[in-house]
Amino acid sequence: MKFKSIVGAVALALASAAQADVVFQFDNVSSGSIGVPPLGSVTLHQFSTNQVDVTVALDPFGSTRFVDTGGPHDAFAYNLSGLGTNFSILNLMPVWMTAIAPANDTPYGVYTNGVQCAACGPGASNSDPFGLGPITFSVFDPDGISFNNFVQNTAGFYFAADVIGPNGGTGSIAADTGVFPPPPPPPPPPRTVPEPDSLALVGFALMGVAGFAARRKLLPK
């Protein structure tokens, strides 16, 4: 029984480790003066059944930065659905970022939640170094949370951000498609190990064949 418990614990740990992250690319830009997409990504990591970790990274690093241009625009916006009233936002970094609800990133619509950076504006005036990011935080719900709780808004976008891009322009970028990594291949089927009784029968059969062959050699021709 103890051995079975250990095997079960190991299997559960391996299953948790195999949980793949989901990555969304910022493939939409509101103006060509911002830059050429993709200009960053949002990565969701299932830390536990009650917590999803979020990382918002801009690309190329240093040439794309979070800003606060007004308009209304927020540094980062995302849409949650299906959670209870007890969910919370934890471990928001950098420390000058503030969790808000709701959020808006014109022209990519309104979102249930977001992150604002009062030190990142107005416009591009104070975006460096405050707007470099990445932005990281966790969404925790004691009743459970998964990737499925991050949904598209009415405009069809999962995430949006207010940035100044590598071309020098400011505006919004958005992500409308997630990249789900393929699941790991199934493990190979277990090898069948003959039972001791079967091995004994095979051994006796081989001995019989060997004895018969030796007897034939002794018989006169």
pLDDT tens digits, one per residue of 23-54:
999 999 999 999 999 999 999 999 999 999 99
Q: Where are the beta strands (DSSP E) in the chain?
A: 22-25, 28-29, 40-48, 51-58, 65-66, 76-78, 88-93, 98-100, 103-104, 110-111, 113-116, 135-140, 159-164, 170-175, 178-179
Pairing verdict, β 51-58 and 135-140: antiparallel
Distance, CA of 66 to CA of 131 (rounded, Å): 4
pLDDT over threshold 60, residue 6: no
The whole-number average pLDDT for the span 51-73 is 92
Output the six-digit token pair for 5.
């418990």
Among 26-35, 101-110, 135-144, 207-216, which stretch is predicted with the lowest mean pLDDT?
207-216
Confirm if 162 and 172 have CB atoms less than 8 A apart: yes
Average pLDDT, the chain: 83
pLDDT over threshold 60, residue 214: no
Domain spans, the chain = 18-179
Sorted by sequence, the CB contacts under 8 Å of residue 119 that are 6+ apart come out as 96, 126, 130
The whole-number average pLDDT for the span 85-90 is 95
Q: What is the 3-state secondary structure (H, E, C) of 147-188?
A: HHHECCCCCCCCEEEEEECCCCCEEEEEECCEECCCCCCCCC
Identity of the amino acid at 40: G
Element (H, E) at 107: none
Q: 25 by DSSP, 3-state: which?
A: strand
pLDDT over threshold 50, residue 18: no
* Most confident of the ranges 40-44, 123-127, 189-193: 40-44
pLDDT band at 196 (very low <50, low <70, confident <90, very high): low
Question: Phi and psi for 150 in degrees, rounded to 5?
Answer: -95, 110
Output the six-digit token pair for 182.
């393929």
CB atoms within 10 A of CB 135: 21
